[in-house]
Copies of this chain bind each other. A is one copy, B any other.
Amino acid sequence: MKIKPLADRVVVQRIEEEEEKKGGIIIPDTAKERPQKGKVIAVGPGRLNDKGERMPMEVKEGDLVLFSKYAGTEVKVGDDEYLVMREDEILAILEE
């Protein structure tokens, strides 16, 4: 099943940071902050301006992105969990 976001929406998959250890003790899941890093899975066609023209998108499939803690709506497609957010909720692209 393929997910095609509408307008200026972006589908993002969270990237879990490597299991952090403090003094050898593994911190259980609930005590860790939710990661704000993710990979762009799908990108919408862009929002319409008031003339009905599509505005270009800045991110593309495969981009590694940073977003705020409360960004997006969680959706579940089959067994996968994604975040669907507006491009405007993406703060930055990370490049290596």
Contacts and interface: CB of A to CB of B under 8 A. Distances in A.
A20 B64 CA distance: 34
B95 A2 contact: yes
A55 to B, nearest CB: 5
A58 interface: yes
Interface of A: 1-7, 9, 11, 36, 42, 45, 48-53, 55-56, 58-59, 66, 68-69, 73, 75, 77, 84, 87-88, 90-96
17 contacts: A1-B95, A1-B96, A2-B94, A3-B92, A5-B92, A6-B87, A6-B93, A7-B58, A45-B58, A49-B51, A66-B75, A66-B84, A68-B73, A69-B73, A73-B91, A75-B91, A77-B94
